[in-house]
Amino acid sequence: MMNRLLLARILFPMPVPEPFDYLIPDELAVTVGSYVLAPLGTRKAVGVVWEICELPEIPEGRKLKQIIEVFSTRPMSKPQRKFVDFVGKYTCTGAGRVLRMCLAGEQALAPSPQQVRLTKGSTWPDQASEARTRVLETVGGQDWAPGELAKAAGVSAGMLNALVKTGGLIRQMHDVDAPFDVPDPGQALVQLTPSQDIAAKALVQAVVTRKYAPVLLDGITGSGKTEVYFEAVAEALAQNPEHQVLILLPEIALTQDVLARFAKRFGAKPAEWHSDVTGAQRRRVWRQVAAGQARIVVGARSALFLPFANLALIVVDEEHDSSFKQEEGVLYHARDMAVVRAQGEQAVIILASATPSLETLQNAAAGRYAHLVLPSRPGISRLPEVSAIDLREHPAPKNRWISGPLQQAMAETLAKGEQVLLYLNRRGYAPLTICRACGERIKTPHTDAYLVEHRRTGRLVCHLTGFSMPKPDKCPSCGVADSLHAVGPGVERLSEEVAQLFPEARREVFSSDTTSNPAQIRSLIQRMESGQIDILIGTQIAAKGHNFPKLTLVGVIDADMGLSGADLRAGERAYQTLIQVAGRAGRADLAGRAMLQTHQPEHEALSALLARDRDRFVAAELFIRQQMGFPPFGRLAAIIVSANSEQKVIRAAADFAALAPAASGIEIWGPSEPVFAVVRGRWRRRLLVRSEKQTDLSAYMSDWKRNFRASADIRIKLDIDPYSFF
């Protein structure tokens, strides 16, 4: 009797159109979802078995290679494989590129590396030498790495080896990557307010049913949304010892606070996943998530692609935040894809925000999402009083940016021993450097972006490409010395002004330049919480989720920033940011206030914020979107064509536009020159596509791109649901 020929279709983490076929050797136990090693060209590559089928015989003319190895890791689940396929089709990038985001390297697929540990043995001499006695006293009831024990006891490695031989010490092998601590869902229960309790019970009931259930948790700033969704987390953990929970956050800065709150609430620190996690830590998290031993994961958008064994609950905190949109590689929105993954896993998903996105609010209004509202802050804490400073009536002094009314409010706040936050979403010292002699505006080489002066480091930096250079002492265009002049304020320049106005105040700058890693963020937050900072000057990183008990005044230096532009979400984004930053004030038992410096207090977003009338602003924005057929009532896709010369990109963009498939309900705008026409030496053109809500825009865009035959130096990038319009 002939052996069956089993064929495995293997998807590799690379931009390939479909899985490749391989024979399964009889001696290997391969299932759908297995992580395998297989020959690929002249090398070996890790892939995932996407499908298995039986062949009566090898087709004539085909030479099929065999799988080399099967990893012992739990196979990728069917829901995750379907999720990978969906994201690949939706983003028009293919499943292979999405699979790359699901893997953490071949080392993560192997069991944890092991290390030697020493513990106290049962046979210890009655009369031990002084050195051996030190070892005995040092080792105690713990286990030690040999080097650490030798150093702590002040003995040689040879001494430890001798003790191992006599039974005084026991040598054991331990996994380097120990399982994460098991959270206790019954620990540290808090007293919820009536409105929090109602919302928490609704979330708990959704978790009890264990089926796909999207819920919008809509609470004003400081209303205790985290404590409410903690109850859903506790229920998911208590319901089944194999259940896992994913908390998505938009910023590393928020991760640190949430990790501490989780540890306090559940007695165990969650697994952490974001760009600042080391390679070894990432392999540990990936391995433990796949094994079902990491019960809670707190992470950035990429955590959505981890290999969860039994995902019961997803929380997208600050769901409105544009940081959830991935702008490089596979272009996806983590909030939207989290909803897709929750549906595939039959999991509950909670979208939490004080300023929900219009898309989420519309889904709630249409009944697709449940809508829970937290209308007040717990205890005696109240929302801050928000007022506008009309800069037409109260202009700041020349070359200054703090108006008289804001300066007076700052002085009053500091006199009471309270804290001030000044918000300006511009990093560095000045956003523009200009030559007074010839008028040259210093730009990034080969890019249409202005260089930002960072006086703290003495460099000019491009925040679009990352290019930086020392600030020259003469104009690179005309050669005149000492002619370069800083225009406009950044947080560093604002800090200089604060030092002149309040020389005795302790001030710090909070931006991604001054706090570039979690340890620095945690340290600054602790200094702010303990009252070691009087005035905090911050960018957007300071506006998100922080709770500073003594912060009672927020001053927004430029409330007009972001209110206009080509971005269809400009007004919505500005409104959300101002609500969030104003909400940092008065979060404990002290009354807070927020003052917004503006040249246009009558703007719809600002007037709605001042009137505390979110519904009016949302209704007006939705009306405009509906009239234009923009999201959430229609769909958008962007096309970015780039080439190594302006002539080539103009021709390529026109050729691409001419190939647009004919379809009803589709509008195409462009090609046009974007805000940044040149980036890293490549010329760019953009097209924008609008379709009806029911149109499969991803399929349309894929068909369009498939018909275009570009030369090697032409690149076409498709962005479904674009958030960036530069």
Is the per-residue pLDDT at 697 higher than 50?
yes
Domain match, 656 and 615 both: no
Average pLDDT over residues 120-146: 79
Phi then psi for residue 67, to 5 deg, are -65, 140
Q: What does pTM read for this prediction?
A: 0.90
Asked if residue 506 belongs to a domain, the reply is: yes
Alpha-carbon distance of 530 to 433, in angstroms, equals 37
Phi then psi for residue 345, to 5 deg, are -85, -5
Q: Which of 74, 102, 130 is the last residue of a domain?
A: 102
Q: Which of 77, 102, 127 is the last residue of a domain?
A: 102
The encoded tokens of residue 306 equal: 């981890």
Unique residue bearing structure tokens 């009314």 = 405
Asked if residue 291 belongs to a domain, the reply is: yes
Show the DSSP H helices in 434-569 as ranges: 491-501, 518-529
Q: CATH number of the domain at 315, please.
A: 3.40.50.300
Q: Note the pLDDT of residue 1.
A: 36
Q: CATH number of the domain at 43, please.
A: 3.40.1440.60
Q: How confident is the model at residue 54 (pLDDT cuts 50, 70, 90)?
A: confident
Q: Which amino acid appears at position 556 of this protein?
A: V
Show the DSSP H helices in 194-328 as ranges: 194-209, 225-239, 252-266, 279-290
Asked if residue 495 belongs to a domain, the reply is: yes
Asked if residue 69 belongs to a domain, the reply is: yes
Give the closest residue to 282 by CA, choosing from 290, 272, 268. Answer: 272
Domain match, 43 and 162 both: no
Q: How confident is the model at residue 222 (pLDDT cuts 50, 70, 90)?
A: confident
Domain match, 218 and 163 both: no
Q: Note the pLDDT of residue 653.
A: 96
Q: Is 529 helix (H, G, I), strand (E, B) or coil?
A: helix
Q: Report helix, strand and coil shares of the chain as percent, to nearest 5.
A: 35, 25, 45
pLDDT, tens only, 174-209: 888 888 889 999 886 778 999 999 999 999 999 998
The encoded tokens of residue 467 equal: 């290019």
Radius of gyration of the chain from its Cα atoms, rounded to whole angstroms: 29
Q: How confident is the model at residue 703 (pLDDT cuts 50, 70, 90)?
A: very high
pLDDT, tens only, 386-437: 999 999 999 999 989 999 999 999 999 999 999 999 999 999 999 999 999 9
Asked if residue 467 belongs to a domain, the reply is: no
Average pLDDT over residues 689-708: 95
Mean pLDDT over the full length of the chain: 91
Percent of the chain with pLDDT over 90: 65
Q: Is 502 helix (H, G, I), strand (E, B) or coil?
A: coil
Alpha-carbon distance of 523 to 256, in angstroms, equals 10
Alpha-carbon distance of 341 to 665, in angstroms, equals 29
The encoded tokens of residue 421 equal: 């936050």
Domain match, 699 and 552 both: no
Q: How confident is the model at residue 116 (pLDDT cuts 50, 70, 90)?
A: confident
Domain match, 521 and 597 both: yes
Torsion-angle region of 655 (φ positive above 0: left; ψ -120 to 50: alpha; else: beta): alpha
* DSSP 8-state code for residue 333: B
Is the per-residue pLDDT at 519 higher than 90?
no
Overall number of domains in the chain: 5
Question: ∠ at Cα 516 (574, 441), nearest 5°?
Answer: 60
Average pLDDT over residues 207-218: 92
Show the DSSP H helices in 74-156 as ranges: 78-90, 95-102, 106-109, 130-139, 146-153
pLDDT, tens only, 284-340: 999 999 999 999 999 999 999 999 999 999 999 999 999 999 999 999 999 999 999
Q: Quick check: 13 and 102 in contact, CB under 8 A?
A: yes
Domain match, 61 and 93 both: yes
Buried b (16+ CB within 10 A) or exposed e, 495-517: bebbeeebeebebbbbbebbbee
Q: Quick check: 652 and 710 in contact, CB under 8 A?
A: yes
Q: Which of 46, 76, 102 is the last residue of a domain?
A: 102
Domain match, 512 and 589 both: yes
pLDDT, tens only, 675-693: 899 999 999 999 999 999 9
Question: ∠ at Cα 680 (674, 684), nearest 5°?
Answer: 30
Asked if residue 617 belongs to a domain, the reply is: yes
Q: CATH number of the domain at 680, please.
A: 3.30.70.600
Q: Quick check: 227 and 196 in contact, CB under 8 A?
A: yes
Task: Tell me the C-alpha to C-alpha distance, in Å, between residue 283 and each of 174, 178, 372.
Answer: 17, 12, 37
Domain match, 352 and 406 both: no
Asked if residue 379 belongs to a domain, the reply is: no
Alpha-carbon distance of 50 to 11, in angstroms, equals 6
Question: ∠ at Cα 554 (551, 560), nearest 5°?
Answer: 160
Domain match, 131 and 33 both: no
Range of the domain at 406: 385-426+489-622
Q: Quick check: 539 and 510 in contact, CB under 8 A?
A: yes
Q: CATH number of the domain at 134, please.
A: 1.10.10
Alpha-carbon distance of 639 to 688, in angstroms, equals 6
Q: Note the pLDDT of residue 566.
A: 67
Task: Tell me the C-alpha to C-alpha distance, in Å, between residue 303 and each of 102, 296, 321, 326, 341.
Answer: 9, 11, 16, 13, 12
**59 vs 557, residue with greater confidence:** 557
Is the per-residue pLDDT at 501 higher than 80?
yes
Q: Note the pLDDT of residue 531.
A: 92
Q: Quick check: 249 and 220 in contact, CB under 8 A?
A: no
Domain match, 658 and 695 both: yes
Alpha-carbon distance of 199 to 375, in angstroms, equals 11
Give the closest residue to 206 by CA, choosing from 79, 315, 307, 300. Answer: 315
Using CB atoms within 10 Å of the CB of residue 465, give its burial: 0 to 12 exposed, 13 to 18 middle, 19+ buried. middle
Alpha-carbon distance of 301 to 222, in angstroms, equals 24
Asked if residue 311 belongs to a domain, the reply is: yes
